Structure 1
Amino acid sequence: MGSKIKLGILGGGGDSLIGVLHRVASNMFDQYEIVGGVFNPNWEENIGFAKKLDLPLSRIYADFESLISEEIKLPDNERMQVVSILTPNFLHFPMAKKLLENGFNIICEKPLTTTYEEALELQKIQELTKTVFAVTYTYTGYPMVRQMRKIIASGQLGKIHKVDVQYYQGWINPIIHDAEKRASTWRLQPDKSGISCCIGDIGTHAFDMIEFVTGLKISKVLADLNYLYDDNLMDIDGTVLIRCGNGAKGVIRASQIATGEENSIIVKVYGEKAGLKWEQENPNYLYKLEDGEPLKVLKPGNVYNSDLSLDGSKLPPGHPEGIFDAMGNIYKGVARAIKGEPYDSGEFPTITDGVRGMNFIEQAVASNAEGNVWKEID
């Protein structure tokens, strides 16, 4: 068997941003070989895209059922070992379920499914099959986010008492005010996206980020969501108060109508001894704040960083790394897991993170619908 892991891809064809991100990430550390997949439900576009990637057309399939049935016929040293699911949300569950049942490892875009019940079902199957299952909360792959995790775990902040995560975008603003456009956008259609747009798409990133960097579990949420128009069935903006298991409180602020914003993720964690602040649009700077001390700026690639952070840095200090590198770090961690090599628990989000994300989405929507009340996270 060759040293590279054989990777199949579902979705992500054409000009898909997420498709490019995953393909580049998979190639970054020479751990994977893309061998085929289903890039588009339209056969001509599917084949055309595969030709652009110079993939063997014998491994390009009409649908995911065909991919599974044909791949399992191949010898172990030829078949796909892991499949990346990059499709619209409503396809995640049926694809992941059948892949798991046939022993494939999975890398899945978030949100994991469209319902918490589906997510729990996938988790049960994954536990039985003991396959590797990663959910791409991509921003956890940044070296300085990983450094935040290690600093907090080391106790340098003391007891955490305040968390504040913002995720602001403006992309849906030109769409939401046009009745025809908002009716034809798949992210605003519950049958394709699930019950939430903003909280499901980006709020879940903020939820996972808090639990990733602090090591705390969010236990309760109170949400106030914004739909703007009566005929719009999905939230496009929201504020969620949170309570953590250790008594810490905080807020998740998510919006897709923050006019002019691009991808503004800001993570702030405050403890009794110090605070940390990180911004995704300037990802190579981690700020440490202490009373009576000058502001400290930590950067990737330096020897003062943790092993987890340094493992996610490919270049010497002063050479910027970005979103492709963050996703590449997740793929690298998954490769280690598939190969049975030792890896840090912070190297990639697991199906458990995906399940908690779905629990959060449903409870946030329920909190808003029931008059902005506190709801518990399992």
Structure 2
Amino acid sequence: MMRRPLLLGMVGGGEGAFIGAVHRMAAAIDGDWRLVAGAFSTDAGRNVRTGEVLALDPARVYPTFDAMLAGERALPADARIDAVSVVTPNHLHAPMAIAALEAGFHVFCEKPMAMSVAEAQAIAAAAEASGRHFGLAFTYSGYALVEEARARVARGDFGAIRLVQVEYLQGWLSDPIDNAGNKQAEWRTDPARAGLGGCLGDIGTHAFHLAEHVSGLRTEAVSADLAIHVPGRRLDDDVSALLRFDGGARGTLKATQVAAGEENGLRLRIYGERGGLEWAQMEPNTLTLRWLDRPAEMVRAGGPGLSEGAAGLLRTPAGHPEGYVEAFANLYRGFAAAIRDEGGSWFPGVADGVRTMKFVEAVIANAATDRKWTSIDPGESV
């Protein structure tokens, strides 16, 4: 019997939006998903045009998110959407995710999970009560060689981990384009729509999630500095943090959007007693391994020596680069497998989202005081 694709609805991601198109491409790659419905924009014309470009049934291009939930729930079970992709600005993540979960739909959401820890925990409660799955778009965790790095750390190749260094350098906000009509910049620097953190929430959460995911360690406390370099900007555009991990490891995190000339410089280094690794998002098909007692090694996507988990995330032979969209697709594939109860595929979810929101709040709290360390989990001693 042929397995039908899961049916997807999308809120946000209309004409001119970057991330909505990425979600649609990623969801389509493996044939697990078919986009059939959407409420893409509060601008009626843009909403309709997006539906036309995507060749959707006009009856399922809804004027509002609430109308989409009501309209889809009214359809027969085998015709309605299975899940909702939330690709809106941050302030809408929690109310929309909770409403979709309560309406009986699975949710795949853009990061950060919410505007606060309290909102993130409300989403977690709604997911548990509904019995539906919640996925989160921490895209970089979907790269094959990130999985290879995680697997090698987990099996103890490098011994006990001592150092974790992660940086995410961008330069696109070096000029005040948020005050010059750039829509992508304008909402990301607006506290009402972006939340407590600017650069911190937008890319600092990616860096933090990657560091914990690959190292397998939990951050106990942070010592942080937030800066606004562009005059008049209301949210941070530069983040520096020291990280203290369980087990005694130490780390550094640097995230900035004012490193003029940088594109998307996400880089992770992890060092243990016997060696370490380095992975960079702009060269994602190479993982460098360094050793205390022998020459460095270079592991390549599709090449020999990959773990089963990493090899299973690749779609093309060695030498045929895979990148951002394919990594994103791996998350959608894992999300689909969970919905179908097939197991075997990981994707970022509720726990990852709550952890990253705790990180955001801890950094902001620490940077606002002269206290040296702030616990990620309030109430714990540091």
TM-score, structure 2 length as denominator? Answer: 0.95
CA deviation string 1:308-347 (max 9, x = no partner): 1111100111111010100011111111001110224xx2
Conservation of the 8 A alpha-carbon contact between 2:189 and 2:198: yes
1:74 and 2:68 correspond: no
In structure 2, how many angstroms separate the alpha carbons of the residues matched to 1:373 and 1:366?
A: 11
In structure 1, the partner of 2:302 is 301
Correspondence 1:151 to 2:152: yes
The equivalent residue for 1:51 is 52
- Alpha carbons of structure 1 residues 372 and 234: separation in structure 2 relative to 1, 3 Å: farther
Note the C-alpha offset of 1:281.
0.3
CA shift for structure 1 position 306: 1.2
Amino acid at match of 1:173: S
Q: Secondary structure at the match of 2:220?
A: strand
Aligned runs of 1:93-112 on 2, under 5 Å? 93-112=94-113
CA distance in structure 2 between the partners assigned to 1:203 and 1:189 by the alignment: 17
**Distance in 2, Cα, partners of 1:377 & 1:147:** 27
Deviations 1:343-365 (A, max 9, x none): 24xx2101110111111111101
Q: Which moved further from structure 2: 9-18 or 146-155? A: 9-18
Give the C-alpha shift of residue 307 in structure 1: 1.6
8 Å contact from structure 1 (residues 139, 326) kept in 2: yes
| Alpha-carbon separation, structure 2, partners of 1:291 and 1:352 | 35
Counterpart Cα distance in 2 of 1:339 and 1:303:
31
Say whether 1:340 aligns with 2:346: no
Distance in 2 (CA, whole Å) between partners of 1:283 and 1:277 is 10
- Asked if the contact 1:360–1:377 (Cα under 8 Å) also holds between the matched residues in 2, the reply is yes
- Indicate how the Cα distance of structure 1 residues 13 and 139 shifts in structure 2: closer, same or farther if over 3 A, else same: same
- Structure 2 runs not aligned, ≥5 long: 378-382
**8 A contact 2:170–2:256 mirrored in 1:** yes
Residues 2 and 311 (structure 1 numbering): CA distance in 2 closer, same or farther, change over 3 Å? closer
Alignment deviations for residues 245-274 of structure 1 (CA, whole Å, 9 cap, x no partner) = 111000100000000000001100000011
Q: Distance in 2 between matches of 1:233 and 1:174?
A: 14
**Structure 1 residue 26 corresponds to structure 2 residue 27:** yes
Deviations 1:282-301 (A, max 9, x none): 00000000013111000112
TM superposition score normalised by structure 1: 0.96
Task: Say whether 1:357 aligns with 2:356.
Answer: yes
SS of the residue corresponding to residue 145 of structure 1 reads helix
Give the structure 1 partner of residue 269 of structure 2.
268
Query: Matches of 1:230 and 1:34 in 2, distance apart?
Result: 42
2:380 paired residue number:
none
| Contact 2:164 2:251 (C-alpha < 8 Å) held by counterparts | yes
Distance 1:168 1:228 in 2: 14
In the other structure, the counterpart of 1:198 is: 199
Measured in 1, the distance between the counterparts of 2:135 and 2:318 equals 29
Q: Is the 8 A contact 2:175 2:230 kept in 1?
A: no
Shift of 1:181: 6.1
Residues 62-110 of structure 1 deviation map (CA, whole Å, 9 limit, x = unaligned) = 1111111111111110111011100000110110010111111011000
CA distance in 2, matches of 1:120, 1:261: 34
Instruction: For 1:301 and 1:229, locate their aligned partners in 2 and report how far apart those are by CA, in whole Å.
Output: 43
**Change in CA separation of 1:349 and 1:273 when aligned onto 2, cut-off 3 Å:** same
Per the alignment, residue 286 of structure 1 pairs with: 287
Give the count of matched residue pairs.
375
SS at 2:328 equivalent? helix
Q: Which moved more, 1:358-367 or 1:303-312?
A: 303-312
Give the equivalent residue in structure 2 for 1:15.
16
Cα gap change, 1:2/1:341 in structure 2, threshold over 3 Å: closer, same or farther? Answer: closer
Q: 1:226: how far off?
A: 0.6
Q: C-alpha distance in 2, partners of 1:244/1:348?
A: 23
| Higher mean C-alpha displacement, 213-222 vs 367-376 | 367-376
- Counterpart-to-counterpart distance in 2, 1:15 and 1:63: 18
Deviation at 1:373, TM superposition (A): 3.0
CA contact 2:141–2:210 (8 Å) conserved in 1:
yes
Indicate if the aligned counterparts of 2:179 and 2:186 stay in contact, CA closer than 8 A.
no
Comparing 54-63 with 227-236, which one deviates more in the overlay? 227-236
Tell me the alpha carbon deviations over residues 165-212 of structure 1, each in whole angstroms, 9 at most, x when there is no partner.
000000111226x86669981111100100110110000001100111
State the shift of 1:228 in Å: 2.5
Q: Which secondary structure state, in structure 2, belongs to the residue aligned with residue 223 of structure 1?
A: strand
Secondary structure, in 3 states, of the residue corresponding to 2:135? strand
Structure 2 CA distance for aligned equivalents of residues 223 and 205 of structure 1: 16
Calculate percent identity across the aligned residue pairs. Answer: 37
Distance verdict in 2 for CA 1:129–1:292, change over 3 Å: same
- Equivalents in 2 of 1:120, 1:231: separation in Å? 32
Indicate the SS of the match to 2:175. Answer: helix
Q: Which residue of 2 aligns with 1:215?
A: 216
Cα distance change of structure 1 residues 181 and 228 upon mapping to structure 2, 3 Å threshold: farther
Query: Residue 221 of structure 2: SS of its match in structure 1?
Result: strand
The alpha-carbon deviation at position 2 of structure 1 amounts to 5.7
- Do 2:83 and 2:106's aligned partners in 1 also have CA atoms closer than 8 Å? yes
Counterpart AA for 1:342: G
In structure 1, stretches of 5+ residues that fail to align are: none
DSSP 3-state at the match of 2:266: strand
| 1:187 to 2:154 alignment | no
Q: Secondary structure of the residue that 2:248 maps to in structure 1?
A: coil
Provide the rounded CA distance (Å) in 1 between the counterparts of 2:96 and 2:220.
30
Aligned counterpart, 1:126 = 127
